[in-house]
Amino acid sequence: MIQDRPGTVGFQTIPDSQTQPMPDSSNPLLRSDGLPAFDRIRAEHVGPAIRSTLAEANEAIESIVAVPGPRTYDEVLGALDRISEVVSRRIAPVQHLLAVAESPDLREAYNEVLPEVSAFWARIPLNRGLWQAIVDLAQSGEATSLDGIYARDLERTVAEFRHAGADLEPDHQDTLAALKVELSQKERTFGEHVLDATNAWSLHLEDETRLAGVPEAPRRRFRERAASEGLDGYLLSLDFPSFEAVIKHASDRSLRQEVHGAYVNRCRGGSYDNTGLIREILGLRLRIARLVGFEDFPDYRLEQHMAKTGEKARSFVADLVDRTRPYWARDIAELQDHARTLGIDRLEPWDVGYVSERRRKARFDIDDEALRPYFPLPAVEAGLYELVQRVFGLSVTERSAEGVWHSDIRVFDIHDEEGTHLATFYADWYPRPEKRQGAWMNPLATGGPTPEGGFEPHLGFIGGNFTPPDGEAPALLTHREVQTLFHEFGHLLHHAVSRSPVRGRGGLNVPWDFVELPSQLMENWTWEREALDLFARHWKTGAPLPDEMFARMFSARRFMAGKFQMRQLSFGSMDLGLHTEFDPEGDEDLLEWIEDWLAPFSPTRSFAEQNIATVFTHLFAGGYAAAYYSYLWAEVLEADAFSRFRTEGLFNRETGRDYVEAILSRGDSADPGVLFQEFMGRDPDPEALIARNLGDMREEQKG
């Protein structure tokens, strides 16, 4: 997952001496040199820094408008890029801290200026003078002389401004800007509620027998957490490593039910209720879409994406649902059959993780806990960086961690084969109460080629919520967590190797249904023996992952793949359905509507009822609204793209170079379909996803 990009237009460019003011040395957010001083940022810095930055940016935009006569590309779009990058870089550290080290005073300070930030980004395409300058440029003689990324930037900017309401009447523009400000506040509140509700829940257990089946490492963490609160026994929480330990391993079914219910029912009532917010967010998005001339929000959102329309996205999901359903039905039947052997007559949502782990163990003689010792986090990171060196010619080296927000943070530099410093990034892998759930990558600042011929490094972040170190043991990952780490690093590479001279068209600034290709492509190496040999070694003995264990792990790759793929499709379908079929102004109960929608994707009604809608930050506090389908859309692309590595060599440097040059470094310099064709020499083959993820049921039946 990537953190949502700011603003309506999303331009990101390097600072320029003409738009960068003299910094206030007492305010770390106004520094113009070095890495952000996260450890020095306080709530009192937020308002002054952001307000002064927005004021300076507005003045600079008016300077663009004030230039008389025909204006050049650099005087209009180049200047706008430089202004926008300064604003993004000043605000990004605050937004980042709210994701990894939130405090009540920092939250309050940012929420106070959030309407002003949202209004700034919303108002850029509604500035009539700026819009006229862009139209004049598009109709000028210089426009005909632009080529490559500059021509695309102009074409895309005109389309994006129109999409954002540049052609609306002034009163409608005012309404649109106000709606976007209100929407940003609602989405921010949604995310705050999820964090607060997660931290508000705990379960104190004094009876050790209730944790039967839970591995010793998480049990020890539960004991330590209880002791830190002055309690005897065990204290459970809802951070994902704690939740997963119970839901997959606890033999006490009532405990699984209690923890699962607490997890999925967060924000369904009480102080952190999100049900009303979901309705308000959907309503605001619909009003925005219709104000700009679209029937619904998916059509509005996807106009600039590969899918182009909501109907195309819905057809894509529906087709995959039909093709996945037989595999899903097979997986559910297998789970239900195995549940009966465990004394569970009726499979419930809180049983799935537990039964699945035991079925996998019975069928393949392997489980996550058996694999953990072979995936120590330090070795996984080192192996990943060696792989990146071999395949892409990029070196990753650690540097001193200065100015960071927590002692767990590590800092790295990325260089290319010529020694160019391409990027610096932070890594933050363990859960904390003040840190959001999940795993994500954040492009903190976009660099790239400079006018003087140099290169300004990019700045990024990757993080997650992995099981932390325990005693003398380092953090030991499940194989799924290894995939997650590779996934987020794929996003980081997309950002780090961007060589776009136009920052707003570089790195992750691509259509949303293309952005997951680089991240999901990286996951493929975690299934290859040749790649695993770089890092899959027992943390104590250094012994490599045994051949027979790898064989069992690989054999289990498609285990429950139909169930997992249908789960992703259910989210994509629900997302599109909520944004088209549900009436946020109507009387229908939201949660009942969601349950009805999810019923065809569910073995029983209880599965539909136990959904995550009220904590689904991807849809209601992130960048995946009306675009959750993009995970599978991009997976079709990456499954096909990786076939070239499988054919030409997993570590083939020439193939890696082609991938960097055709896709990773290009950003939005051309249509994504063109970039894919440049790398593969043809259009995508949709059969690659089914073949890799689900295989052929007939072959399985023969086997």
State the Cα–Cα distance between residues 224 and 227, nearest whole angstrom: 5
State the Cα–Cα distance between residues 324 and 327, nearest whole angstrom: 6
State the Cα–Cα distance between residues 410 and 413, nearest whole angstrom: 11
- How many Å from the N-terminal Cα to the C-terminal Cα in the chain? 36
Structure tokens at 476: 């030991």
At CA 212, angle to CA 210 and CA 213, rounded to 5?
Answer: 140
| DSSP secondary structure, 11-53, as one string | ------TTTPPPP-TT-GGG--SSS--GGG--HHHHHHHHHHH
Q: How many Cβ atoms are within 10 Å of 66's Cβ, its own excluded?
A: 9
- Residue at 633: amino acid letter: W
Q: Are strands 458-463 and 440-445 parallel, antiparallel or unpaired?
A: antiparallel
Q: Are 217 and 182 a contacting pair, CB within 8 Å?
A: no
The H or E element containing residue 401 is: none
The residues carrying an active-site annotation are 488
425 strand-pairing partners = 412, 460
| DSSP secondary structure, 290-354, as one string | HHTT-SSHHHHHHTTSSS-SHHHHHHHHHHHHHHHHHHHHHHHHHHHHHHHHTT-SS--GGGHHH
- Residue at 571: amino acid letter: F
Nearest to 485 by CA among 393, 388, 550: 388
Structure tokens at 281: 């967010």
